[in-house]
Structure 1
Amino acid sequence: MRRIEKNSLGAALMMALLCSCSGRTTSEPFVQSVSLTRPIALNRETSHLYSGIVKAAHEVSLGFKTAGQIARIHVSEGDYVQQGQLLAELDDADYQLAVDALQIQYDQLKDEVERTKQLFNQKSVSANDFEKASAGLRQLGVQLQANRNKLDYTKLYAPTNGYIQTVNFSPAEMVDAGTALFTLLDVSRLEVEVSIPANEYLRRDQFTGFTCRAAGLKNGVQLRLGSITPKADGNQLYHLTLAFAGQPDRRLTAGMNVEVGITVADTTRTGGFGVPPGAVFLDGEVPCVWVFGADSTIERRPVALREMDNEGRVVVIDGLTGGERIVRAGVSALEEGEKVRVVETPSQTNAGGLL
């Protein structure tokens, strides 16, 4: 008898518990979960980064202006030289002899011309003879100066500041006039070379600024456009040459890799804000977004749109202030004034929310 009473009591308790649970479940309203985003203020310019390299503005091939045998080389590869510094010399013995021989002839003829002039003043020599003697002296003077120049050409001087990149000959070797003895990197003016894809080249008329950054340099350096090669290479890249707008940092050297920023005027942007395409819906024919309120309810906000920008965002030019949080997806299932629950978007650096 007692066992029956206990079973009946247990069954009654179970029924009461089930009824209470079912009543509580049906009384709670369903709350939709949404993810939010903020409108992104759009500028009228975009910036893209490319890899570039610092190069010397000129690589100068240096050689003697006359032929001869190399007597001395005063520099080595990698040496820094200054403008006017002596780099190498030829054996000048034969050139010196040629100058000495002509100097003797010139001095002798000069004395003869002086005597002829005195005779001409005394009417003892015709004007024609005096003019011939004077012309012969001038001609010999030109030959003497040409040989003096050749003697000077046996010494090779640095035309500008820079670094000796290569030395192509050794002492005692014979070189012809114009043969490149040295390759000099002219570091008096550095420049930056960068390659850009075809889509960027097509917007070259919209370039508004250039900067470069290098490892170890905190601040970017302003550049200006030097030239653009109008022909693509085998990789469909176009080469830009950029000059430094001011004096470059001394730590920048030829061959250094840099990051080049190219600022482009974006004609698709007229200010306003960028929002994901999924955040916009139509209320009839009026584009709207759902704005999340402080009480966790949503409000329909009409907006004025412009075409998408280059990054695939819808451009909102009216209706938003930039401080709102708006629903980014699933907007068609929501209703005005509905209370929603925010699902935070996980950080890209904390995948899975493990941290």
Structure 2
Amino acid sequence: METKHLLIAAAMLGLISCGSNEKKESSLQYVKVGTAQRAEAQYNLSYPGRTKPSEDINVSFRVSGPILKMYVNEGDHVRKGQIIAQMDPRDYETQLSATTAEYEQIKSDAERIEALYKEGNTTASNYDKARYGLEQITAKLNNSKHQLADTKLYAPIDGYIESRMHDAGETVGAGMPIVSIFGSGATEVEINITASDYTKKDKFGSFYCTFDLFPDRKFPLELVRINQDANANQLYNVRLRMKDGNETGITPGMTTMVYINMKGSESEPIIIPTTAVFNDNDQTFVYIYKDKSGTVEKRAVTLKHLRTDGYCEISNGLKENETIVTAGVHEIENGQKVKALPSISKTNVGGLL
């Protein structure tokens, strides 16, 4: 009986302890946190864009003639080296046969003259003519072989058939596009920026884009190039490459919104929200949030300037990318354990909390 009472008492103490822990957890002060950044890094540039294939190629025959057969349709996936179309080869087969016969005759004559020259029975001029004639017919024979081989059209890259311009039976000229292929590599994004933003290109930091199809995701981008010449609308073309777009079904032709995070320089002041600073005994302080411990540290800073956009400039006491408490500073004290609010959630519309 005594053992039973001890077990009941232990269980009650455990429940009391759990309740105490739950109460302690629920009593944590919630605060909003943010990152101290340089002035330029406080804002983004945003531009509408469109996804593009990394490679977009028009494929054409190098010879002229009627198309005998088309092996692909729009939307087909092709591998590099796969046959796309076949031109009627009969004219080029005839040409090769005639050139081969001519080559055999000139080669035989050249070998005979070379033998006579070695024996001293012909002139050096005749020998040179025979040698040059053989070189010319050899080049002509190789060209005929190449032309016959060029009656077959192969895919130059892995990708998809975007459009098919001609059908079997049509006669096409050399260089006329037969199909267009876009590569199956990493998808790229194209935007056009204004001249004023082009002058800030050295301060471009990171890039990402969003899609209406994936409202909760940000897709990181890497810069491919920025054109140095403005177009007719005085805009500068920027090309960016998606790092993981191919895995999520993003294809060329989709509209997107591209964001450019600006990077600050060492000469620019640290900018934080004015709600992050508070006064104590005529001195300005902020709270540094320690992510590992979940506690805050009170730190003195030097306030340089109060701006009209809800931010203030700090000249001393803060480093770039340090995490600070941006709301709730009057409800906490140095060393207190707090809980950071998520930046934005579906229930925190507009990030007002």
1:167-246 superposed matches below 5 A: 167-196=164-193, 200-214=197-211, 215-216=213-214, 220-229=218-227, 238-244=236-242
For residues 134 and 269 of structure 1, do their structure 2 counterparts lie closer, same or farther at Cα, with a shift above 3 Å needed? closer
For residues 190 and 349 of structure 1, do their structure 2 counterparts lie closer, same or farther at Cα, with a shift above 3 Å needed? closer
Do 2:271 and 2:311's aligned partners in 1 also have CA atoms closer than 8 Å? no
Q: Secondary structure at the match of 2:168?
A: coil
Q: Secondary structure at the match of 2:208?
A: strand
The answer to whether structure 1 residue 253 and structure 2 residue 248 are counterparts is no
For residues 311 and 263 of structure 1, do their structure 2 counterparts lie closer, same or farther at Cα, with a shift above 3 Å needed? farther
Which residue number in structure 1 is paired with residue 37 of structure 2? 43
Paired with 1:323 and 1:220, the residues of 2 have a C-alpha distance of: 24
Paired with 1:309 and 1:39, the residues of 2 have a C-alpha distance of: 20
TM-score (norm 1): 0.64
Which residue number in structure 1 is paired with residue 146 of structure 2? 149
Paired with 2:317 and 2:95, the residues of 1 have a C-alpha distance of: 91
Q: Secondary structure at the match of 1:112?
A: helix
The one-letter amino acid paired with 2:272 is F
Do 1:89 and 1:156's aligned partners in 2 also have CA atoms closer than 8 Å? yes
Which residue number in structure 2 is paired with residue 130 of structure 1? 127
Do 1:275 and 1:316's aligned partners in 2 also have CA atoms closer than 8 Å? no
Paired with 1:70 and 1:199, the residues of 2 have a C-alpha distance of: 51
% identical aligned pairs: 27
| Structure 1 residue 103 displacement after superposition | 0.4
The one-letter amino acid paired with 1:153 is D
Paired with 1:73 and 1:349, the residues of 2 have a C-alpha distance of: 55
Paired with 1:178 and 1:159, the residues of 2 have a C-alpha distance of: 15
Do 2:278 and 2:329's aligned partners in 1 also have CA atoms closer than 8 Å? no
Moved more, 106-115 or 174-183: 106-115
Do 2:274 and 2:310's aligned partners in 1 also have CA atoms closer than 8 Å? no
Q: Structure 1 regions of 5+ residues with no counterpart? A: 1-36, 290-301, 328-346, 351-355
The one-letter amino acid paired with 1:169 is H
Paired with 1:325 and 1:275, the residues of 2 have a C-alpha distance of: 12
| Structure 1 residue 228 displacement after superposition | 2.8
In our comparison, the structure showing a higher alpha carbon Rg is: 1
| Structure 1 residue 73 displacement after superposition | 0.8
Q: Secondary structure at the match of 1:188?
A: coil
Do 1:195 and 1:239's aligned partners in 2 also have CA atoms closer than 8 Å? yes
Which residue number in structure 2 is paired with residue 263 of structure 1? 261
Paired with 2:207 and 2:36, the residues of 1 have a C-alpha distance of: 20
| Structure 1 residue 200 displacement after superposition | 4.1
The answer to whether structure 1 residue 166 and structure 2 residue 163 are counterparts is yes
For residues 305 and 200 of structure 1, do their structure 2 counterparts lie closer, same or farther at Cα, with a shift above 3 Å needed? farther
Do 1:39 and 1:275's aligned partners in 2 also have CA atoms closer than 8 Å? no
Which residue number in structure 2 is paired with residue 10 of structure 1? none
For residues 217 and 273 of structure 1, do their structure 2 counterparts lie closer, same or farther at Cα, with a shift above 3 Å needed? closer
For residues 310 and 242 of structure 1, do their structure 2 counterparts lie closer, same or farther at Cα, with a shift above 3 Å needed? farther
Which residue number in structure 1 is paired with residue 339 of structure 2? none
For residues 288 and 144 of structure 1, do their structure 2 counterparts lie closer, same or farther at Cα, with a shift above 3 Å needed? closer
Count of residues in Structure 1 that have an aligned counterpart in Structure 2: 281
| Structure 1 residue 109 displacement after superposition | 2.0
Q: Secondary structure at the match of 2:247?
A: coil
The one-letter amino acid paired with 1:77 is E
Q: Secondary structure at the match of 1:136?
A: helix
1:139 aligned residue (131, 136, 155): 136
Paired with 2:146 and 2:326, the residues of 1 have a C-alpha distance of: 78
CA-atom RMSD, angstroms?
4.1
1:314 aligned residue (291, 299, 312): 312
Cα deviations across residues 10-35 of structure 1 (Å, max 9, x unaligned)?
Answer: xxxxxxxxxxxxxxxxxxxxxxxxxx
Q: Secondary structure at the match of 1:181?
A: strand
For residues 153 and 198 of structure 1, do their structure 2 counterparts lie closer, same or farther at Cα, with a shift above 3 Å needed? same
Paired with 1:57 and 1:243, the residues of 2 have a C-alpha distance of: 8
Q: Secondary structure at the match of 1:57?
A: coil
Paired with 1:269 and 1:92, the residues of 2 have a C-alpha distance of: 69
| Structure 1 residue 99 displacement after superposition | 0.6
1:52 aligned residue (49, 56, 66): 49
Cα deviations across residues 119-142 of structure 1 (Å, max 9, x unaligned)?
Answer: 233322233222222221211111
Which residue number in structure 2 is paired with residue 89 of structure 1? 86
